[in-house]
Amino acid sequence: MTNNVNFDELAGNAFAPNAGESDFENLFAAVFSLPEWYFIADAEFQYKMPYCMPFKSLGDEITLTVFTDGARATKFIAEQGIKFGATDENPNAPNKPEDLVMRISTDGILDFFDRLAPFKITKIFFNPNIDSHGFHHDLKMMRPIHDHLKNKGLLEKPSAENASGNLDKLIEENADVIADFERENEVFSSMIAGSASAMDGVSDESGEQIISNTAEMFESVRVQQNMPPKLFRAYIETCLEKRKFLMPTLAFAYFQQSESGIKKLQDDAELADEMAKFLIKKVIPNADLPMDETPQKRVEPVDEKPAESRFDFDALSRKAIETNAMEDLNALFGAVFALEKWNFIARGELPDIYPYVASNPATADNQPMIRVFTDEERLMRFARENNLTEADGSAKILTLPTDTIIPYLEGFIEHGTYGVWFNSDSGSADFFIPIKQLQPIKDHLAKLNPPVEKIAETGYTTLILTITDGLMFPSGTVSKSTYNCNFFCWIPRSWTENLQIKDEYLEKLYEQFYGADWRSGNSDGSRYVVLEANSSVISPERIQGTDWSVVQNNELNKYWFYIGEGNGAFKNVAVDEFKTYIDAYLQTQNRAEAQSKQDNLANFGVSETPDGGFDLNLTVNKVGTVDFDTSIAPFYEAIVPLLQDFQGTGEYLTLLRFEESGKNDQVENIVSNSHGAYLQIRRFLYLNPNNGVRIGVNTIHSNHLRHVQTQSELKVSFELCKNLDNQTGVFYHAFQGAREDVLKLEAAIQPLLESVNYRSAS
């Protein structure tokens, strides 16, 4: 269907005055049935951002450009004069227009769009060439349109034969890149070939062991490529099958073409999801080797329940409503946000699909609410009860990912929608919440960490020490212990050498475990002896995912937990305390990494947002006249709610310079929030030494504020100067940080500026 589609003709039909829903469906079914869409990589962002531009016809909204074939994309580059070619500022820029064209599989395109949401991109424009019949739509509607077409069975996928041909084409087009990779990794390929040869003719059990051993051998590659263990094993299996070390994206392309690979993706939803996410991330940041097809999500594996079946929402809802206790509300909404998706009854026809909204006189003062369901069974029950099914008894279902659901729902507030009402069918314990409360609740849940004492920011290592010991009697006979002793230790890195505990600290651990005089023996002449000792460092990746509470003593192994203290001694702790120390340390490390990441992003004029997206940085620095009786207090009150998630991390900033000799009667106050001191408020009388003018000065200055979750930086300054001689006022304010934060601050003070007759002088 999609190989020889005339998209200009389909677009003309879909947007003709007499067009029907089928015309629109035909157009977008053809679009989504393409194996890939073509984008232009913005050279200014070094392949990290698809090309966007404003269109007058769309009200100058930021619009993503996309093309149904590479030729249109290349032609658009020439039409718009898009820059390419290396420069002094950007020496790694592509050398020809074709190098700017990148392809993204349609199987992963919706997740890709979700990653663009923080950039405030609202529209998508297909084929905006001069001589093409382009067509556009709201970017947020792409998922509802896709799901509508999928539910009606209107989407086609490339046949295996075509997919194989596409793979051959990709390999041919990227032959130089692949050849360079293989030359650089000849040694790895020889190791893979050796392991593959060892598998020839062995049993399945032995073959599985060889695969596991090979995966362990290449653990550093897994960490470097940031692959989950299950996905990495699939990668290693493909390398062994091809008997060479492969580029990851190429390996997964082969994997998806093999019968065994297809079967695994059908049977293992977790593996399919991991592969899809890996490939989506690979395509954009590195322009590595864009794939034609990423795996679709299949049925859940039988041993892992989906989130909606892990939680008893009826029980959680009843308890939360009964007690109204914070911990019960946390449990209920924690489960809600743990869902991969929320389910809605779809209303409307393409291109306008939206969730079902209805009010009830007995609930929320009859205010309109979006009906949402934690699973499709409840949704279908509600649809049948309220005559919302189709003639065949089915219902149109709209599913949206939880990760990006809040901005989408907040768009309904301006249309009078009050809240979201969960599971309002007759068989469920329903509950609802105002839409405007969703983000605060999600933020609150993200902060739920147990209080911990401050841990010194020195390097620490987690390792496990396993010893075999025994009791030596005066005769010299040793009675070996029937179990191994395992010590999980969290200690300063300086206590280790070559990943082993240094002898002097190992002795301190023995003294803590056996007693200070353990080598002197017991009163009966016996003494403990260590027969064998081995220690192994636990990687940070494993620490992050370890559930220490599952460690249980058994007949062959017993476990203890130790913390290395500042005085060089070991402290025996319970598992919960051990976890608390490690979590606190990891949080400190994560904050440092996040701050470094934000500082690096700032060099490119962007900041990372709490949802993992990106926002442009913005600097506002303005001055204007105000009424003489203006007070700075309302400005303070307006910004405080917007700074509650920021902490102070540096020196206080000032806008104007006042000679210390001219200051009189200065009063200073340092204001704190829940994260510590963050604002400096000053008031003083200043006598200008140059002209003798008396100036009353009121200031509010932040230091280098950091968002407690993302570590993005924000600076805030106000200075109100009143000329006491001629009774005039001047107001200075400056904000610097992520665009969204700065705009919120600007919006908060704008009414105040208007109320004091602010007149800009900048």
Give residues with Cβ within 8 angstroms of 475, minimum separation 6: none
Sheet with 123-126, strands from edge to edge, namely: 52-54, 62-66, 123-126, 135-138
Instruction: Phi first, then psi: give them for residue 493, nearest 5 degrees.
Output: -60, -25
User: Which range scores top for mean pLDDT: 283-292, 373-382, 387-396?
Assistant: 373-382
Average the pLDDT over 352-378 and give the result: 90
Assess whether pLDDT exceeds 60 at residue 762. Answer: no
Let me know whether 205 and 339 are in one domain: no
Residues 279 and 317 in one domain: no
Do 89 and 131 lie in one domain? The reply is: yes
In a domain, 670, yes or no: yes
Q: Tell me the pLDDT tens digit for each residue of 364-376.
A: 888 999 999 999 8
The Cα–Cα gap between 716 and 643 comes to: 10
Tokens of 427: 């068989």
Res 487: pLDDT: 93
Mean pLDDT for the stretch of residues 56-68: 87
Q: What domain range is 270 assigned to?
A: 160-286
* Backbone φ and ψ of 63, nearest 5°: -125, 130
φ/ψ region of 494 (left if φ > 0, alpha if ψ in -120 to 50, else beta) reads alpha
Q: What is the mean pLDDT of the chain?
A: 81
Give the domain CATH number at 139.
Answer: 3.40.1350.90
Final residue in a domain of this structure, among 564, 583, 602: 583
Number of domains in the chain: 5
Domain co-membership, 202 together with 125: no
pLDDT of residue 408: 87
Is residue 703 pLDDT above 80, yes or no?
yes
Mean pLDDT of the 607-620 span: 72
- Residue 695 and residue 721 in one domain: yes
DSSP 761: -
Residue 457 has a pLDDT of 36
Looking at the fold, whether 168 and 245 belong to one and the same domain comes out as yes
Using CA atoms, how far residue 228 sits from 215, 221, 280, 282, 538, in Å, is 12, 11, 15, 14, 17
Cα angle 751, 752, 757; round to 5: 100
Domain membership of residue 292 (yes or no) is no
Instruction: Give me the amino acid identity at 743.
Output: L
pLDDT at 601: 57
Q: Which residues of 166-195 are buried (b: 16+ CB within 10 A; e: fewer)?
A: bbeebeeebeeebeebeeebeebbebbbeb
Residue 620: what pLDDT?
84
What are the beta bridge partners of residue 685? 664, 696
- Burial, 676: exposed, middle or buried (Cβ in 10 Å; 0-12, 13-18, 19+)? exposed
pLDDT in tens, 118-172: 677 888 999 999 999 999 988 888 888 888 888 777 887 544 444 455 566 667 7
The residue out of 95, 125, 151 marking a domain boundary is 151
pLDDT score, position 535: 82
Per-residue model confidence (pLDDT) at position 157: 55
Q: What is the structure's pLDDT at 507?
A: 92
Inside any domain, residue 428: yes
Residues 667 and 747 in one domain: yes
Which residues have C-beta within 8 Å of that of residue 565, sequence separation ≥ 6?
571
Would you give the DSSP letter of residue 41?
Answer: B
Q: Mean pLDDT throughout 357-384?
A: 92
Specify which of 184-198, 361-375, 572-586 reaches the highest per-range mean pLDDT: 361-375
Tokens of 624: 């204007």
The two tokens of residue 282 are 């690979």
SS3 468: strand
pLDDT in the model for residue 289? 35
Highest mean pLDDT among 134-138, 175-179, 220-224, 639-643: 639-643
Q: Comparing C-alpha atoms, which of 293, 298, 255, 295 is closest to residue 104?
A: 293
d(CA 317, CA 357): 21
**Together in a domain, 323 and 276:** no
Lowest mean pLDDT of 70-74, 195-199, 244-248, 249-253, name the range: 249-253
286, 317, 351: which is the final residue of a domain? Answer: 286
Among the residue ranges 253-267, 330-344, 554-568, the one predicted with the least confidence is 253-267
Q: Is residue 712 part of a domain?
A: yes
| Percent of the residues in the chain that have a pLDDT greater than 70, as a whole number | 85
- Is residue 527 one of the residues assigned to a domain? yes
Phi-psi label, residue 393: left if phi above 0, alpha if psi -120 to 50, beta otherwise: left
- Residue 280's pLDDT band (boundaries 50, 70, 90)? low
Lowest mean pLDDT among 215-219, 252-256, 486-490: 252-256
| 91: pLDDT strictly greater than 70 | no
Is the pTM above the cut of 0.75?
no
522 lies in the same domain as 560: yes
Answer yes or no: do 736 and 680 share one domain.
yes
Please check whether residue 170 lies inside any domain of the structure: yes
Q: Is the pLDDT of residue 397 over 50?
A: yes
Task: Tell me how far apart the alpha carbons of residues 738 and 712 are, in angstroms, rounded to a whole number.
Answer: 7
CA distance to 122, 135, 144, per residue, from 139 (Å):
5, 12, 10
- Tell me if 596 is assigned to some domain: no
Residue 291 has pLDDT above 60, yes or no: no
Within 98-218, residue ranges assigned H as helices are 109-116, 142-151, 160-173, 175-184, 186-198, 204-217
654 versus 165: the higher-pLDDT residue is 654
Lowest mean pLDDT, pick from 600-604, 674-678, 688-692: 600-604
Cβ atoms of residues 748 and 642 within 8 Å? yes
Res. 666: pLDDT tops 90: no
Q: What is the pLDDT of residue 599?
A: 67
17 and 115 assigned to the same domain: yes
Same domain, 168 and 100: no
Of 139-143, 289-293, 442-446, the least confident: 289-293
**Bridging pattern class, strands 123-126 and 62-66:** parallel
Q: Which two tokens stand for residue 277?
A: 């996410």
Q: Residue 758 pLDDT more than 60? A: yes
pLDDT for the residue 100: 81
Task: Specify if 291 maps to a domain.
Answer: no
The pLDDT assigned to 381 comes to: 94
